[in-house]
């Protein structure tokens, strides 16, 4: 029992590099965020505003201000600090070695709960190519493996059919509707709560994608 308690009082699973996994869009890997990611992050987030803003929590400042490259160092430092404390796992999604989005495991709680949430974004040019599905599969296997979580949840707007499909592909199931859950794009929006626990996995999530013909080991 002592060994088990000690295992979950540290911050396992950070840093780590996950993958590679081959999908139609290319070779997908996950890696920790870096200070030098600021240029790619700012460029993609600014260019993809129309693609991303309708689904993301509203901010006080304008989209352009919040995603200016000058804001990346502080954001990177904050995320990295939370990762070192074991509260979060912030990673970059790479496709063929290029920055293509981010995936984050947050609100990591140990003890009797051992849970967290997972969220992601992928640049518009990589949508529909299996990239988000592969990234989520790699992230979930990491959560249920090295990180030692029992449950992972996510939220998605009912109107976001593409993201709902991605979540289903990796095994999430719907648990309920969160009414007026987040202020998104200027209004309080309902979100579906989806979740998955380790007992529901018959095999790894990556292997499930491979068995279904959605991905291959690179």
Entry field: residues in the chain: 218
Q: What share of the chain is helix, strand, coil (3-state, %, to 5)?
A: 40, 35, 30
In this prediction, residue 39 carries a pLDDT of: 98
Largest CA distance in the chain: 51
Q: How far apart are CA 210 and CA 218, in angstroms?
A: 11
pLDDT per position as a tens digit, 176-207 = 999 999 999 889 999 999 999 999 999 999 99
What pLDDT, on a 0 to 100 scale, did the predictor assign at position 4? 45
pLDDT of 6 over the 50 cut? no
Confidence band of 137 (pLDDT split at 50, 70, 90): very high
161, burial (CB in 10 Å: exposed 0-12, middle 13-18, buried 19+): exposed
pLDDT in tens, 52-101: 999 999 988 999 999 999 999 999 999 999 999 999 999 999 999 999 99
Spatial contact of 155 and 142, defined as CB atoms under 8 Å apart: no
As a whole number, mean pLDDT of residues 142-167 equals 96
Return the pLDDT at 10.
55
Rounded Cα gap, residues 199 and 217, in angstroms: 24
Does the bond joining 20 to the residue before it have cis omega, within 30 degrees of 0? yes
pLDDT of residue 185: 86
Environment class of residue 23 by beta-carbon count within 10 Å: exposed (0-12), middle (13-18) or buried (19+)? buried
Percent of the chain topping pLDDT 90: 91
From the CB of residue 111, how many other CB atoms can be counted at a distance below 10 Å?
A: 9
């Amino acid at each position: 029992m002592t060994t088990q308690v000690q295992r979950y009082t540290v911050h396992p699973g950070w840093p780590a590099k996950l993958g590679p996994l081959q999908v139609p869009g290319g070779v997908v890997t996950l890696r920790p965020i870096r200070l030098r990611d600021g240029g790619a992050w700012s460029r993609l987030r600014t260019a993809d505003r129309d693609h991303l803003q309708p689904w993301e929590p509203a901010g006080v400042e304008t989209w352009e201000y919040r995603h200016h490259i000058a804001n990346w160092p502080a954001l990177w430092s904050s995320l990295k600090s939370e990762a070192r404390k074991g509260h979060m796992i912030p990673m970059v999604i790479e496709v063929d070695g290029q920055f293509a989005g981010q995936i984050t495991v947050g609100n990591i709680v140990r003890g009797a709960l051992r849970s967290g949430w997972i969220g992601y974004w992928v640049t518009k040019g990589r949508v529909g190519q299996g990239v988000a599905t592969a990234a989520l599969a790699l992230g979930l296997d990491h959560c249920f493996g090295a990180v030692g979580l029992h449950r992972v949840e996510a939220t998605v707007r009912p109107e976001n059919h593409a993201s709902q499909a991605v979540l289903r592909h990796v095994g999430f199931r719907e648990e309920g509707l969160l009414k007026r859950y987040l202020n998104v794009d200027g209004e309080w929006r309902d979100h579906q709560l989806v979740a998955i626990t380790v007992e529901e996995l018959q095999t790894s999530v990556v292997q499930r994608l491979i068995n279904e013909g959605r991905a291959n080991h690179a």
